[in-house]
Structure 1
Amino acid sequence: MFCHPTLVRRRTMAYNAAGEKSGAPPPFVYGTSFILGLSMFGISLAAGIYNSYVPLFIRHYIPNVAVIGLIVSIRTLAGVFLNMYFSARSDRTRTRFGRRMPYILIGMPITGLLFIAFPWQIGAAFLITIDLVYALTSNIFYAPTMALMPDVTPEANRSQANGIINAMAGFAALLAFFIGPLLFHMGRQVPFLVVGLLFFMIPMIMYRKLKEPADVPPSDSVGFRHLWQAAQDIARRMDHTALWLLIAVFFWSGGESSVETFFVTYGVYHLHWASSVAVITIGLFALAYLIFAMPSGFLAKRHSRRGLVLVGTLGLGLAFIAIGFFTGTWPIRLLAMTAGIFWAFVNINGYPWLTTLTSPTNIGAFTGLWLLSSGLGNFVCQPAIGFLMDHWGYPSLFVAAGIAALLASLAIWRTQPERMRLG
């Protein structure tokens, strides 16, 4: 399935969206996207195994759910800032291994070792320590891995690459759901050992098969200062496309993540479904997204990313609102699948669009701002929508999530059409 292309480095100069000169990425090769997808495949597989079993391990030692929730909140909040920092720092990094690759070569194997240690339950202190250190190391390489995609992919092909990468990540999530329990029954250490070994193999494959452009100038600043300068640059531009896009990311991430978080609760307590019925229904949303991930990327070759994201946010918002008016299983499932298709339009084309709005020097910082907008959307919208559900009833979930997606579409409407911006 995987091809192993020999990437040819080209030292060329290209004008980017900001009007600056910078090194162009190598020519687009599908094999490059599959190799990039290996990293997200491993990350998604690890997340699925982690979410299925590690909370149970922690609950064995800590019966207090509030304490577990506090640990999860600390991990989530720390993850947002760590991703921002390492993503921006990679813009300044210069080594013989590249600027993104060192974070992958160091972070993934260490994370793999920690992952293997999870099922060896020596005690509560050991498990919590492993979990918190895992939260640190797993965020060392995640954002640099994201930023590596636009580094090695031409602008015109980034949606295609993102579609392939997300399809591989979605396939890994399904494997974790179906294969994970089989491995666990072979021994509680087995799924963790398999993922841990993958975390040693994947960075070696990426290092051997991917070549970062060597002629991209380093950023002028490092870490959070670099992020701040990138944010100031976005705010001062005459063209506010990047600013409106990040605002849209805040709303669509918050709305979609709220539906994923609360849908099973909505199905069980409002529709009186069995939990399995609710899980299958939200699973169809994820399945539709997975099926249309690659086609959504290829559509960007014929249609503008702005148009696809605009249609996606509008369709997502209307589908969410419509779900609130139905109680039958199959009408809701059909609408959930429709929403999954529109979500693919949004999620596959949004990040590649943002990377075209800056120079290669600042892609890491813009990736960090993307992750900040997405993380803040989840952090703000989920408790806000939960509050509405408590006071106005469960159907407010889909009204609020739909409005969030429609607000995202309004923000996208304020962006400049790509032809006008490039002109």
Structure 2
Amino acid sequence: MAEVQIRGDAASYRKITFFIALALFAQESTWNFYDSQVPVLLREHVTSTATVGLLMGMDNLLGIFVQPWIGNRSDNTRTRWGRRMPYLAVGMPLAALLFLLLPWTTSLGALAVVMFLYALVANTVRPLAESMVPDFIPPGRRSRANAAVKIATSLTIIVAALISLLVVDEHPRGAFVVPAAILLLVTVVLIVKVRDSRSAAYRAAVAEDVGAGHDESRVPFRRIVADLVTDRDRRRLLLLLAVFLFGGAWFGFRSLITPYGMEALGLTRGEAGGLALPSGVVFVLAAYPAALCAERFGRLRTIAAGMALFAVAMAAATLVQTVTGTVVVFCVGAVGFAGFSINAAVALWNLAPSSRVLGVYTGLYAVTWYLGGFGGPALIGAMVDLTGWRAMPLDIAVLAVLAVLVVARLGQLQKRHLSASATTTATT
């Protein structure tokens, strides 16, 4: 098989997007199966649900520290394979091996150690494949590529469910082989087909290295963060703030939807857990149109409109508290979430000051999103304690509206920036 040649045409963009989506599909297949089956392994050793939750949350905590670090390290890597592929070629097989060891552990201590090592390695490779989207794909087409990636990762939920349904009961240990085999097979495909040293962003980064000189060829992480915080251009910070706020709203919705269905709608635990299934299908269907809307109407407008639609759907859920009505408005909310999810990371990549820091910006986006996911459920839960379960969707809507206001301010700054740039170009 020949290596991917990035020629700058639509066919080559579709080809590399397929391989990036394939990499993330393989990675997320193990993650989703991990989330569904490792709690069962933990309960073989410990009866405390709090302990199970604490150990299962370890991967998110590690991600906060690991993902920006590996993003920066890969940004500063220069090899004939590129800056992402060397880490993926080693990390993905190692993650598969550690994943295979999970069901064979015989004590809580051994299981916790393997969980930690798997989460460490898997968090290392997670942002690298995603960072190849801005590496290979030009700014105008990144939303389309990100839509394909999001669709691929969404499908892994179905894959994990099918493995659980068809294999786990008969072969509880052997079931772990399937996601691991997918990860190994995709690694081989990536090694043979992809060299990110051929990407436009990598070549631009190398050119910047030459222009900066030897002493400035590496960009320290602390310098990137300091530039982000101290720069008078607040657009990047405002976008991250919007990601944090909307992440809180989204994870508050996802974390509390089952008890909401039980308390506000009178459903059983199983029925309440299935409330979001139709909206998951709607998200997959809405992902690519959300990318096309961004290209047609503007990325920030699409993000703001998506968050606003999500907020309106949550507010409507407070008024229409029947099962059918709730499912319908949740589906509408999924369309709004697609407008945000497909385009927010792309907007941040496009605001990055250099091709040399795209990996770090991918990591910063993930950290901000997960921090919102950490604080959002607690905040929404506290609001539920004050206002009751029936008002929970409205509580979520309030947080989403705050995110919309931040993006509206960002849009004003973007207009000023574009106007100033146009004026400067005209005078020169």
Q: Who is 1:31 aligned against?
A: 15
Shift of 1:233: 2.1
Note closer, same or farther for the CA distance 1:328–1:33 as it changes in structure 2 (3 Å cut).
same
Shift, 1:62, TM fit: 0.9
Aligned counterparts of 2:344 and 2:11: Cα–Cα separation in 1:
22
Query: Alpha-carbon deviations, 1:141-168, whole Å to 9, x = none?
Result: 1112221111011111100000011111
Q: Does 1:299 align with 2:293?
A: yes
**1:226-258 deviation line (CA, Å, top 9, x unaligned):** 1x3223323343432211111100011111011
Task: Name which of 164, 169, 190 aligns with 1:206.
Answer: 190
Pick one of 394, 397, 405 that aligns with 2:400. 405
Between the aligned partners of 1:326 and 1:296, the Cα distance in structure 2 is: 26
Distance 1:322 1:106, change over 3 A: same
List gaps (5 residues or longer) in structure 2. Answer: 423-428
The equivalent residue for 2:97 is 113
- SS of residue matched to 1:372: helix
1:263 matches 2:257? yes
Equivalent residues of 1:160, 1:297 under 8 A apart: yes
Cα distance in 2 for partners of 1:344, 1:28 equals 25
Q: What is the CA distance between 1:384 and its match in structure 2?
A: 1.6
Confirm or deny: 8 A CA contact 1:37 1:165 kept in the other structure. yes
Q: Does 1:278 align with 2:272?
A: yes
CA distance in 1, matches of 2:153, 2:2: 19
Counterparts of residues 324-363 of structure 1 (less than 5 Å): 324-358=318-352, 359-363=354-358
- Alpha-carbon offset, residue 374 of structure 1: 0.8
Q: Hey, what does 1:370 align to over in structure 2?
A: 365
Find the counterpart in structure 2 of residue 168 from structure 1: 152
> The residue matched to 1:351 in structure 2 has which SS?
helix
Question: Given that residues 42 and 108 in structure 2 are in contact (C-alpha distance below 8 angstroms), is that contact kept between their aligned partners in structure 1?
Answer: yes
Give the root-mean-square deviation of aligned CA atoms: 2.3
Match of 2:310 among 299, 316, 325: 316
What number of residue pairs does the alignment pair up?
A: 405
Deviations 1:379-422 (A, max 9, x none): 22221212222333113432221111111111110114667644
Q: TM-score, normalised by structure 2?
A: 0.88
Structure 2 CA distance, aligned partners of 1:419 and 1:176? 44
Given that 1:28 and 1:154 are in contact with CA atoms closer than 8 Å, whether structure 2 keeps it comes out as no
The residue that corresponds to 1:15 in the other structure is none
Partner Cα distance (2:249, 2:241) in 1: 13
Task: For 1:337 and 1:270, locate their aligned partners in 2 and report how far apart those are by CA, in whole Å.
Answer: 18
Q: In the alignment, which residue of structure 1 is the partner of 2:134? A: 150
**Cα offsets for 1:337-372 (capped at 9, x unmatched):** 000011001000111111111221111121122112
- Name structure 1 gaps, 5 residues minimum: 11-24
Q: Structure 1 residues 318 and 58 mapped into 2: Cα distance closer, same or farther (>3 Å)?
A: same
The code of the aligned residue for 2:381 comes to: G
Q: 1:324 to 1:28 in 2, by over 3 A?
A: farther
Relative distance call for 1:131 and 1:222 in structure 2 (3 A) is: farther
Indicate the SS of the match to 2:103: coil
Alignment-mate amino acid for residue 266 of structure 1: Y
Question: What residue is the counterpart of 2:426 in the other structure?
Answer: none
Alignment check: 8 A CA contact 1:239 1:416 kept: no
Instruction: Give the drift of 1:299.
Output: 2.5
* Map of 1:180 onto structure 2: 164
1:48 Cα deviation after fit: 2.0
Whole-angstrom distance in 1 between the partners of 2:378 and 2:262: 19
Task: Give yes or no for the alignment of 1:393 onto 2:388.
Answer: yes
For 2:14 and 2:6, locate their aligned partners in 1 and report how far apart those are by CA, in whole Å: 14
Aligned to 2:237: 243
Considering fraction of residues, name the structure with more helix: 2
> Quick check: 2:76–2:218 contact (8 Å CA) kept in 1?
yes
Identical columns (%): 24
Distance in 2, Cα, partners of 1:115 & 1:62: 20
Tell whether 2:69 aligns with 1:85: yes
Alignment partner of 1:132 is 2:116? yes
2:261–2:275: 8 Å Cα contact kept in structure 1?
A: no
**Residues 81 and 38 from structure 1, CA distance in 2 versus in 1: closer, same or farther, beyond 3 angstroms?**
same
Any conservation in 2 of the 1:252–1:405 contact (CA below 8 Å)?
yes
Letter in 2 for 1:7: Q
Residue 88 of structure 2: SS of its match in structure 1?
helix
